[in-house]
Structure formats: C-alpha cells, structure tokens
Amino acid sequence: MNLAILTHWDLIMAASLVILLALISRKMQMGIEGQLLLSASRTVIQLLLIGLVLKTIFSNVHLVWITLIAVLMLLMAGREVMARQKYRLTGWWGFGLGTAAMFVSSFSITLIALNVIINVDPWYEPQYAIPLLGMMLGNTMNGISLGQDRLNQAAWEKSAIIEARLMLGWTWSQAISDLRKDSIRSGLMPIINAMAAAGVVSLPGMMTGQILAGSPPMEAVKYQILIMFLIAAGTGFGTLVAVWFGSRRLFDERERLRLERLSVK
Amino acid sequence: MIASMSFFEIKSLQVLNLEPWSCEIAAGECITLTGASGSGKTRLLRAIADLDLHKGDCVLHGDSCKSMSGHEWRRRVGYLTAESQWWHPQVGAHFEKADVKLLKQLGFDEAVMDWRIERMSSGEKQRLALLRMLQQNPDVLLLDEPTANLDQGCTQVIERLVDQQQQQGKAVIWVSHDQQQSGRVSDRHWQIVSGQLLEEVS
C-alpha cells in the first residue's frame, strides 16, 4: 500500500469547503468568517514553512541544526505556557519555570525514546527526533500550563485559607498541599482522558496519520501506545516539576505567603 | 531557667511606617493594643507572627524567631483573626484532637465535631477557631479583634478562656476597639498614635 500523493487541486478542493463555510457565515451574519479565513491562511503558511525547514534538515542531518530547531521549539512552547496564565509568577520565573519543566521532561524523555526505545541511528535522526519532540512539547505544554494556571489562581483566591493554616503552625508545603494536588490533577487530566478514550472514542492523530501513510495497522498501534506512554510520563514529570517549584516560589524562606510574586494579566 | 531571661521580648520590631518598637512581656501578662483603623495594629501582630516582611526580631524563652523555621515559630506564637477560615465541610476535620474540657467550657459538646461549617454562626466559629489555635499549645496568643462581631455572652466566654490561658503562663497581645473590654482584660495597654507605639501608664 502506497501513499496517495496529493496534488494542488486536492488541497484547493479542501480549501473551497472552508471558503464555502466562510461565505455562508457571512451571508448568515455569524461573524466568524474573518477568524476562520485568517487561521486557515496561518495553517497554510506555517505548515509550508515548517515543511521547508524539515525538508532542509532531513537532507542535511547535523546535530547542530537539530539542536537549534529543538531550542526554538522549546522557547516557543515556553512563551505559549506563559501566555496562557492569568496569574503568572513575576520576573524570570514566569517564563523560566514552565520552560525549564518542559525542558527536563520533554527533552529527557525524547532522548530516552530515541536512544533506548526506538534505537535509531544516528540517535538524532530528524525524521524521528523532530516529530517526537514536537509531540512531547505540545502535550507537556498543555499539562504544565494547566497545572501552573490552576495553582496560581487557586493560591490567589484561597490566600486567606493558606495564611490561616500558616498561622496554625503548618509548614508551607502542608498549607498549599491540597491546591497542589488539584493542580497536578488538572494538568494530567487531558492525557489520562486521552489514554482512556484511545481507540474507543477517538483514533489518535498520529496513528491515523501513519495508517493513511500506508503503515500496517498493528505497527501504527504499537507506535501510538509508545507515544501515549511517553506523553503521559513527560506531562506527568513536567507538571510535577512546574507545580512543585511553582508552589515553593509562592513562599519565602520564612514560609510566608508572598502573593506579590504573582502578577495579574 | 535563668532568672534574668524574659518570657517574651520584642526587639526593634519595625513594619511599614511604624517606629521600631522594643519591649518585654512577662508570662501570664495580657497587653491590649488600640489605634485607629489603618494605623498598623494588624501589621504589628502579623510581624510578631512572622507572616510579613519586617525588621527586628522577637525572642521567646531565649529563642530568637530567626533561629527556627517560620512554622516552628508560629506553632509557639498563635494568631487568631477576627474572621476565621474553614476549609473542610465538617468541623471535626479541622481538629486533630479536641480538648473535651475546653469544648464544654466554650459551650459545646462533642457532637459539634460532626457539624457542617455553613450552619455555624459567627460566634460559634470564633469560639471553635480559638480552640483550634490552642491545639498547638502556643506560648504567646496574638488576638486580632477576636470578639469584634460577637454578642456579650460569647465575648464573655472567650474572655474567660483567655484569662485561664494566662493563668497557665501564656502571654497575650489583644487588639480591641472596645474600651471597656480593654479595661477588663489588660494588664498593660499599648496605643498606636501617628505611627508611634506608646505604652500607656495607668
């Protein structure tokens, strides 16, 4: 089974469906056509660009290029995590903590996967390294931003309770432990739901892609299971790191709650 | 214990715009603190409990606040706010082991531990919050208008219990708006006047 190569006409036909939707939206005054067309154009431009980048990297396999693009992806993900917080840590912590958490979880797990599990040669073979890292970053990004956002907002809203516990002689960690637990749970919920629904409610995107590209279904399934586990571990470790250090940062060395370390967007 | 060592000592404590303040408080003593709203009474208590940034130090039994962690200090220096906070749906979940004798004295029986927080009155909450603070057996009690919204009966019960704590050798700093209450409970009186803490000589 071979991949059916798409022609320009195939894509233009798909695009005309979106344009039709935009026209109907305009006719019915739904007001969504602007956003729809803009984001559709962004999809075309961004994906064409990344396609060019990947094409270049695939034909010049060099660790420096891979590292460069990996760092760029990390920084973009870090910016995205920060942008999604309503209450964020001030100073470098706002950008640094989420980015560092993604770095330790996504990078280390991608490295383990490439070197130990999939065992490709060279280990930075871009055909594996880039999509794998992209998937890890995309998912840990969700978990970390959900977890951090939940933690910071809860600390802001429940500061009176946290302080009441401090007044009773609780440690900083005891005083915020239930909020931390909730935050970690909300960071992990998407991947837990995805694992629970995989194959029953939805066919995961990567597996769908592989099957469309002509892989035998069982091979696609094995890859999907691998990816699901890597994502779960990466999201879990990343969220743990971000929420733990984030909660510590809300207190100072005298275990006082320091809400001025959060700024409100 | 060395005779010259004082029970509780405040050393050049400074918060916000208040002048640095030093004094000694003996075991069993109750000091009332008054001042216009916004004058910094709560700030002062929070600094003594080491809940806010401040300059200076406090020493209890010869142990400086800085010599121990924040939570160890706050276990010895208890702080009761005018409005108590409750985070579990049931009263009992906030207590490790409630002292039945004190519970009776505050006008409750053990069934109160099964009560739900939302059906308690402010007076009941405040009495239970005092009991909850006393669980840690702190040596110094910082009371920030503990009877501000309470009726007379409730106020009396709390005053009596605090007095009893003093008999057991605890020091009390009590913020109160009520002149008569201040007269009833205090051994000494502090007042904050335009950024300065003054000790009133009676």
CATH of the domain at B53: 3.40.50.300
Range B58-67, long-range pairs (CB < 8 A, 24+ positions): B58/B8, B58/B9, B58/B10, B58/B11, B58/B13, B59/B6, B59/B8, B59/B9, B59/B11, B60/B7, B60/B8, B60/B9, B60/B139, B60/B140, B61/B1, B61/B5, B61/B7, B61/B139, B62/B2, B62/B5
Say if B136 is an interface residue toward chain A (CB within 8 Å): yes
Query: Would you state the pLDDT for residue B99?
Result: 85
Task: Check: CB of residue B114 under 8 Å from CB of residue B77.
Answer: no
Question: How far apart (Å, rounded) are the C-alpha atoms in residues B191 and B182?
Answer: 11
Quick: pLDDT tens for A242-256. 999 999 999 999 999
Q: Which two tokens stand for residue A205?
A: 């995107």
- Tell which of A157, A158, A167 to mutate to test the B interface (max B CBs under 10 Å): A167
What is the model's pLDDT at position A148?
96
Contacts of A53 (CB under 8 A, 6+ apart): A69
Q: If you measure CA to CA, which chain A residue comes closest to B65?
A: A254
Outline where DSSP puts E strands in B81-154.
Answer: 140-144
Q: How far apart are CA A57 and CA A65, in angstroms?
A: 7
**pLDDT at residue B202 in the model:** 58
The pLDDT of residue B121 is 92
CB contact, 8 Å: A170 with chain B? yes
- Taking contacts as CB-CB distances below 8 angstroms, the residues of chain A near B53 are 256
Decide if A260 touches B, using CB distance below 8 A.
Answer: no
Residue B57: inside a domain:
yes
Per-residue confidence (pLDDT) for residue B194, from 0 to 100: 85
Confidence grade of residue A2 (pLDDT, cut at 50, 70, 90): low
**A154/B170 Cα distance (integer angstroms):** 36
What residues have CB less than 8 Å from A248, skipping those under 6 apart? A172
pLDDT-derived band at B4, boundaries 50, 70, 90? low
How many other CB atoms sit within 10 Å of the CB of residue B91?
Answer: 23
Provide the number of structural domains found in chain B: 1
- Indicate whether B1 belongs to any domain: no
Query: What average pLDDT does the segment A151-178 reach?
Result: 97
Does the pLDDT value for residue A202 go beyond 80? no
> Testing the interface with A: which of B74, B75, B130 to mutate, by most A Cβ within 10 A?
B74
B132–A169 C-beta distance less than 8 A: no
Residues in chain B within 8 Å Cβ distance of A163: 51, 85
Q: Establish if B20 belongs to a structural domain.
A: yes
Q: Is residue B3 part of a domain?
A: no
Q: Determine, yes or no, domain membership for B2.
A: no
How confident is the model at residue A181, as a pLDDT? 96
In a domain, B52, yes or no: yes
- Containing H/E element for B59? strand B55-60
For B49, name the nearest residue in chain A, comparing CA atoms only: A167
Does the beta carbon of B70 lie under 8 angstroms from any beta carbon of chain A? yes
Expressed as residue numbers, the domain containing B169 is 8-200
Which residue of chain A is at minimal alpha-carbon distance from B80?
A167
Whether the per-residue pLDDT at B3 is higher than 90: the answer is no
H or E, element range at A153: helix A126-157
pLDDT of residue B200: 80
